[in-house]
Amino acid sequence: MMPFAIKNFPSQFAFEPTIWQARRSANYDRFFYVGMGGSHLAADLALRWNPNLPLTITSDYGLPEQVKQAKRPLIIAGSYSGNTEETIDGYREARKRKLSVAVIASGGKLIEMAKKDGVPFSLLPNTGIQPRMALGFGLRAVLKLLNDKRGLEESAKLAKSLKPDQYKTTGETLARALRNRVPVIYASARNAAIAYNWKIKFNETGKAPAFYNLLPELNHNEMNGFDVKRPTKKICAPFHFIFLTDTQDHPRVVKRMDILARLYRDRGLCVEEMPLRGKQPFERMFGSLLTADWAAVALGDGYGLETEQVPMVEEFKRLMA
């Protein structure tokens, strides 16, 4: 199922989101996206596409304090299943405070409540894929609610231009290098959403621990933990660093990555550079993430594990009930 979802991923960008029960007079000055797990990853990428979007993303119960400072906020409750506990709590809090709300989901309780309450909603296609694999659907729905016409136009091009098989060999080669190692993904602060997505794919698809951090901040702290000395050689050995390099980053950040990669290699650490490639921003973002998808599937397969489902998440949900 996962290879099928990866190969068919570009078709998601042909999705034309509709806002049902839309309000004609809506004129919002700030958007607050409430979502958890794979359901907020699309909003993260929307903000990566356009950092100037008036969008705040929160992954928690309730609503962030910044809502109080907005004059005309719209709360977007996003959950691919429509049944995410924390997101439903945010929706109810927004309704209780008589704030404007919109819903993005493929069904579930959120869609039921939106219909009942007369709240605008965007219904995502329910194709049976995992939320982390529905980024195209989610991104386009978010851009529609934000009225980002250029983002919708540019992302739609991926339906034809994005070729998943072009990233398969690189991903599978990376997976072989990661066997019995712990991936640590490094990126610039502007590419934080991409690095975080990589981590999530290794966690949920590859069923492996994985971590991420950002430059330049990590140059002031984390890298000191990998200044390998004889007493710490064993605890540093399992880590495999993946640098998401980007020629469009700040020149000083590009230099920092080059220097850090050299310092890590000098200390015997494994470093892999994964450049963001492509002419268009969305192509660079999703090309990188397709590489991560193939790597995560190959890694999970290599461990003999099921790569689609997330049984520990489901077990946790049952215990929380």
- The span from the CA of 255 to the CA of 261, in Å, is 10
Q: What are φ and ψ of residue 110, in 5° steps?
A: -60, -40
Q: Quick one: which of 246, 235, 183, 231 has its CA closest to 209? A: 183
Give residue for tokens 């015997």. 268
Q: What domains lie within the chain, and their CATH numbers? A: 2-160 (3.40.50.10490), 164-302 (3.40.50.10490)
Q: Which residues are 270's β-sheet partners?
A: 240
DSSP reduced 3-state for 210: coil
- The span from the CA of 51 to the CA of 15, in Å, is 23
Print pLDDT tens along the chain (321 aa). 899 999 999 999 999 999 999 877 678 999 999 999 889 999 999 999 999 999 999 999 999 999 999 999 999 999 999 999 999 999 999 999 999 999 999 999 999 999 999 999 999 999 989 999 999 999 999 999 999 999 999 999 999 999 999 999 999 999 999 999 999 999 999 999 999 999 999 999 999 999 999 999 999 999 999 999 999 999 999 999 999 999 999 999 999 999 999 999 999 999 999 999 998 999 999 999 999 999 999 999 999 999 999 999 999 999 998
How many residues belong to the chain? 321
pTM: 0.95
DSSP string, 233-245: HHHHTTEEEEE--
